[in-house]
Amino acid sequence: MRQQTWFAVVVCVIAVIPGFFVGGLVKAVMYVFGGWAENSDFLYLHALFGLDGPGALYNFIFAHAIPDTFQGGVGGFVAVWITEKAARGANYALAATITGALYTGFVACLILVIFMHLGITSEMLLSICQCVGLWIGLGGTAAAFPVPASRSNAAYP
């Protein structure tokens, strides 16, 4: 079982990449149908009072952050689904957790390097949204698959 779990981790880590491509398709569909969110005047605050801040925040959340979170979620779902097909009987929750930790560490290192050169940018926040979506996709999908019989609590009285 240990070899299956490590094989599942390797498959899950590699399967996140095509998962992000499939999530990119979902993100593109959200951009096409999400034209209402792009550059909208939130509660007409700009037209009435000249305030741009709430509209910019609304634009960032609904036009950029939510599609990136969905891309990460779909990427995590596809990764665990491919892992379930390739490594039957493995501990998918452990494989998903290790995969999420590896990608989170990678993103944290990239953010630290970028922060040293550029400071805080909106792309950093979008990377964090995508990482949160990845955790949602990995964890939610791994919880849906059953735990192998050798690892369930019913085997231990």
Within a domain: 152: no
Within a domain: 120: yes
Buried-state track 121-131, b at ≥16 Cβ within 10 A, e below 16? eeebebbbbbb
Enter the tokens of residue 53: 């801040």
In this prediction, residue 151 carries a pLDDT of 54
Within a domain: 154: no
In this prediction, residue 157 carries a pLDDT of 46
The answer to whether 131 and 71 are in contact (CB under 8 A) is: no
pTM score, whole prediction:
0.85
In this prediction, residue 74 carries a pLDDT of 96
Whose CA is closest to 71, among 139, 19, 138?
19
Query: What's the rounded mean pLDDT across residues 83-99?
Result: 91
In this prediction, residue 155 carries a pLDDT of 46
Within a domain: 157: no
Within a domain: 155: no
Within a domain: 156: no
Within a domain: 125: yes
Enter the tokens of residue 79: 């990764």
Enter the tokens of residue 138: 């990995």
Q: What percent of the chain has pLDDT over 90?
A: 57
Position 66, amino acid: I
pLDDT (tens digit, 9 = 90+) per residue, 12-63?
999 999 999 999 999 999 888 876 666 777 777 778 888 888 888 888 888 8
In this prediction, residue 47 carries a pLDDT of 80
In the structure, how many helices (H) and strands (E) does the chain have? 6, 0
- Model confidence at 68: pLDDT above 90: yes
Range(s) of the domain holding residue 70: 2-147
In this prediction, residue 80 carries a pLDDT of 95
Higher pLDDT, 46 or 139: 139
In this prediction, residue 140 carries a pLDDT of 92
Q: State how many domains the chain has.
A: 1
In this prediction, residue 41 carries a pLDDT of 76
Within a domain: 64: yes
In this prediction, residue 36 carries a pLDDT of 65
Average pLDDT of every residue of the chain:
87
In this prediction, residue 150 carries a pLDDT of 59
- Model confidence at 133: pLDDT above 70: yes
